[in-house]
Amino acid sequence: MERVEEYLEAILDVQEKERRVVRTSDVAKKLKVRPSSVTEMFLKLKDMGYVDYVPYRGVILTEKGRKIAERIRRYYRIFEKFFEFLGIDKEKAKELSCELEHHADERVIERVCTIISGVCDICDECKFEELPLSEAKEGKYIVLIAPTSVKNLIRAGDKIEVLENDDVLKIRVGDETFELSKEFGKKIIVRKS
């Protein structure tokens, strides 16, 4: 299925940029494959109901094919943003995102979105309310993710209160109040409670 998804994504890219029927040569160039391989795949995609194909003219995505291509593109962008969030260099992030986009499902994507929702701008409207502690305003939160290096102070599931968020983070966990650096606060993911 991975190869099928790559073709659908390539067709979508050309279709959106050029605003026309996608020719065999367009996809061959984009995917660095022989035109005969593209023709063969166009026939398979047509049989699967993903494209409307007219030999010697080209293809356009059907609604079914477009949905798959858009999903794969969205997964790619989410993984790319995730690796950017982790501080992975851009080229490695692109390489990893290209691999993972074909192997993820909505559950995986939702979990990744939970982590990056505070720094993500991919979707028009985000259904996730999670954010890094470093970006939390004063108020009460539930800790979703916390590194094991702070397990004696904060754990996933703890209810915390942000008292101050200026140069440092001043937070209350239970009866204890302490300060964290903003840099360390980026590693703790919270949700408004």
Tokens matching residue 148: 């094991």
| Integer-rounded Cα radius of gyration of the chain | 22
| Spatial CB neighbours of 95, under 8 Å, sequence gap ≥ 6 | none
| Whether 185 contacts 191, CB under 8 Å | no
Q: What is the pLDDT of residue 96?
A: 94
DSSP code of residue 54? E
| pLDDT tens sequence across 153-163 | 888 888 999 99
pLDDT value of position 32: 95
The band of 87, judged by pLDDT with boundaries at 50, 70 and 90, is: confident
Tokens matching residue 31:
């995917």
Please write the tens of the pLDDT for every residue from 12-53.
999 999 899 999 999 999 999 999 999 999 999 999 999 999
Amino acid found at 48: M
Q: Are 28 and 35 in contact, with CB atoms under 8 Å apart? A: yes
* 90-101 confidence digits (pLDDT tens): 999 999 999 999
For residues 125 and 141, the answer to whether their CB atoms sit within 8 Å is: no
pLDDT per position as a tens digit, 103-152: 999 999 988 887 777 666 777 666 667 788 888 888 899 888 888 777 77
Complete DSSP assignment for 14-65: HHHHH-SPBPHHHHHHHHT--HHHHHHHHHHHHHHTSEEEETTTEEEE-HHH
Cα-Cα end-to-end distance for the chain = 41
Q: What pLDDT does 10 receive?
A: 95
pTM for the full predicted model: 0.70
